């Protein structure tokens, strides 16, 4: 009997991970023309609070204005172009002032002071350049495209899908920033398969069986799915036990799973029965990515004396570091002249869908 050979999907050619020209095209397509997650609103709880983000090579100021609106501005003075704010985060005292000649901008970006300019100078013509900013469940998204579609159009059904976690009510407990020496897409690929879990993450595999995964049909906005806990385990933490109470809105079934979603282009949402973990990716070079990981809990639980959030932080920090070291080795191997695209297994279907999204072919 002749068995017909099944066509095999393969990984992308090396240039997608090593060529600076491909990298700058991706920054334009995915990081300048899509909605990109830059953080959470509770990072800047009061008027004047701000943080800087570098997105697609641009330094951006994300600030809460006097009317409680989250706004984003290019960090570029309208006088002679100087980067206005060099400090990564902090609080503006009611206005944003350039350190060169002292031009002053309101928290809403209006130019309110321009020393030495002539009398007929029209300040209204020189506000800070603003970037579209929208918020979903306290996740802040920005879009640098001249004309962007609404954030909701990019998020598809996610707002309804994750409403039970009430993400808007969660508060950050811990943040770690990682400098990963790998292309951003390798980090997305690694997040979306657990075939590596028994080899690389024995502690994770002891809590959640890598074969228990159940993936959603991939679409243009995200890829992801759920994994179940092994018997006796309740959440992802050092001892597998809850860090606090279950999140209040979850169904019985949702309490037995972790939901892992990569929301294009740069947000990973890992929804646990008792907390939310987020990763946001900021590509810095074709072979370097900054990853900011945060753990968010119900504030009522954090204030309890028996709260055990550190168990979740340690568990995932160790897992993250295992992941970063393996993607760095992937980057190193793909950079070799010996690398040729390799075959995907059927279980790596989310990875194939992501590659198709990168190539611009329908999933
Ligand atoms: S460049 Fe900013 S005030 Fe002159
Ligand atoms: Fe992993």
pLDDT per residue over 109-141, tens digit each? 999 999 999 999 999 999 999 999 999 999 999
Q: Are 20 and 283 in contact (CB under 8 A)?
A: no
Q: How far apart are CA 266 and CA 102, in angstroms?
A: 35
pLDDT score for 117: 96
Which stretches of the chain are DSSP H helices?
15-18, 20-26, 151-155, 158-161, 184-191, 197-200, 202-207, 299-302, 309-334, 349-359
| Residue 312: burial class (beta carbons within 10 Å; 0-12, 13-18, 19+) | buried
For atom 4 of ligand 1, the residue with the nearest CA is: 101
pLDDT band at 213 (very low <50, low <70, confident <90, very high): confident
Task: Tell me the ligand closest to 208's alpha carbon.
Answer: 2
CA of 351 to the centre of ligand 1 (A): 47
Q: Which residues contact 127 (CB under 8 A, 6 or more apart)?
A: 78, 105, 109, 110, 111
Ligand 1 interacting residues, C-beta cut-off 6 A: 77, 79-80, 82, 98, 100-103
**Mean pLDDT along residues 41-57:** 98
pLDDT value at 267 more than 80: yes
pLDDT band at 363 (very low <50, low <70, confident <90, very high): low
| Residue 160: burial class (beta carbons within 10 Å; 0-12, 13-18, 19+) | exposed
Phi, psi of 339 (to 5 degrees): -70, 130
Tokens 């809850």 correspond to what residue?
242
Q: What percent of the chain has pLDDT over 70?
A: 99
pLDDT score for 3: 74
pLDDT score for 5: 81
pLDDT score for 187: 98
pLDDT score for 362: 66
Which residue ranges form the domains of the chain, and what is each CATH number? 36-147 (2.102.10.10), 155-359 (3.90.380.10)
- The model's pTM: 0.96
**Mean pLDDT along residues 326-332:** 98
pLDDT band at 335 (very low <50, low <70, confident <90, very high): very high
Q: How far apart are CA 171 and CA 276, in angstroms?
A: 9
pLDDT value at 201 more than 80: yes
Q: How far apart are CA 69 and CA 328, in angstroms?
A: 39
265 prior amide bond cis, ω within 30: yes
Q: Are 216 and 223 in contact (CB under 8 A)?
A: yes
Mutate to test the pocket of ligand 1, among 61, 73, 82 (most ligand atoms within 8 A of CB): 82
**Continuous segment of H or E residues that includes residue 304:** none
For atom 1 of ligand 1, the residue with the nearest CA is: 80
| The length of the chain, given as a count of residues | 363
Q: Are 255 and 273 in contact (CB under 8 A)?
A: yes
pLDDT score for 197: 94
pLDDT value at 294 more than 80: yes
Mean pLDDT, the chain, integer = 96
pLDDT score for 301: 98
Q: Are 247 and 171 in contact (CB under 8 A)?
A: no
pLDDT value at 230 more than 90: yes
pLDDT band at 1 (very low <50, low <70, confident <90, very high): low
């Amino acid at each position: 009997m002749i068995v017909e050979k099944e066509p095999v999907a393969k990984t992308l050619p090396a240039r997608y991970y090593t060529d600076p020209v491909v990298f700058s095209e991706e920054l334009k397509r995915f990081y300048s023309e899509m909605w990109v997650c830059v953080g959470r609103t509770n990072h800047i709880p009061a008027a004047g609070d701000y943080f800087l983000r570098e997105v697609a090579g641009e330094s951006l100021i994300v600030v809460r204005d006097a009317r409680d609106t989250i706004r984003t501005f290019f960090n570029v003075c309208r006088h002679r172009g100087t980067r206005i704010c060099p400090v990564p985060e902090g609080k503006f005292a009611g206005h944003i002032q350039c350190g060169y000649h002292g031009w002053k901008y309101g928290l809403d970006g209006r130019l309110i002071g321009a020393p030495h300019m002539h009398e007929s100078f029209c300040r209204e013509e020189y506000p800070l350049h603003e970037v579209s900013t929208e918020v979903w469940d306290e996740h802040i998204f920005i879009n640098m495209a001249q004309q962007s579609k609404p954030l909701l159009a990019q998020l598809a059904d996610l707002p309804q899908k994750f409403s039970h976690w009430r993400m808007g009510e969660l508060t950050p407990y811990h943040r770690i920033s990682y400098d990963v020496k790998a292309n951003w897409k390798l980090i997305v690929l690694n997040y979306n398969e657990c075939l590596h879990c028994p080899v690389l993450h024995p502690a994770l595999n002891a809590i959640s069986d890598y074969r228990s995964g159940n993936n959603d049909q991939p679409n243009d906005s995200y890829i992801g799915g759920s994994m179940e806990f092994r018997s006796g385990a309740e959440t992802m933490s050092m001892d597998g036990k809850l860090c606090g109470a279950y999140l209040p809105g979850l169904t019985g079934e949702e309490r037995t799973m972790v939901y892992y979603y990569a929301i294009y282009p740069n947000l990973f949402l890992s929804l646990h029965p008792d907390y939310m973990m987020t990763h946001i990716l900021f590509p810095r070079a074709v072979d370097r990515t900054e990853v900011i990981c945060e753990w968010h809990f119900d504030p009522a639980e954090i204030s309890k004396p028996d709260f055990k959030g550190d168990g979740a932080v340690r568990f995932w920090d160790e897992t993250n570091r295992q992941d970063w070291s393996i993607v760095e080795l992937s980057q190193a191997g793909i950079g070799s002249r010996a690398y040729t695209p390799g075959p995907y297994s059927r279980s790596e279907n989310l990875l194939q869908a992501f590659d198709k999204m990168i190539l611009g072919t329908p999933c």
